[in-house]
Amino acid sequence: MSRFFAAAVIGLAIVSAASTSASAFHCVARSGNGAMGWANRILLVRAQAVAMRACIVAGGNLHGHSCHIVYCR
């Protein structure tokens, strides 16, 4: 029982350390009409996709403008 408890504590410590914002990518997407979106995700591809989706939902693809990734850090 104590081995299970120790393994659970170690597993939770690893998961909590891996999901901090310090280990995540921060991406910002903007459009020519002023709409923008941002996202923090562990995977770069997911951060880019969520930032683009947020920009589009904010109206970034209206009237001939389109969203693009400004930066990811």
Separation of alpha carbons 40 and 11, rounded Å: 23
The pLDDT of residue 10: 64
The pLDDT of residue 16: 53
In the numeric block, which tokens belong to residue 15?
Answer: 């998961």
Q: Bigger pLDDT: 7 or 45? A: 45
The string of pLDDT tens digits covering residues 8-66 is 656 655 655 555 557 899 999 999 999 999 999 999 999 999 999 999 999 989 888 99
The pLDDT of residue 37: 97
Burial class (CB within 10 angstroms; exposed 0-12, middle 13-18, buried 19+) of 13: exposed
The pLDDT of residue 12: 58
User: Residues of 17-33 as b/e, b for ≥16 C-beta within 10 angstroms?
Assistant: eeeeeeebbebbbbbee
64 dihedral zone (left: phi>0; alpha: psi -120 to 50; beta): left
The pLDDT of residue 41: 96
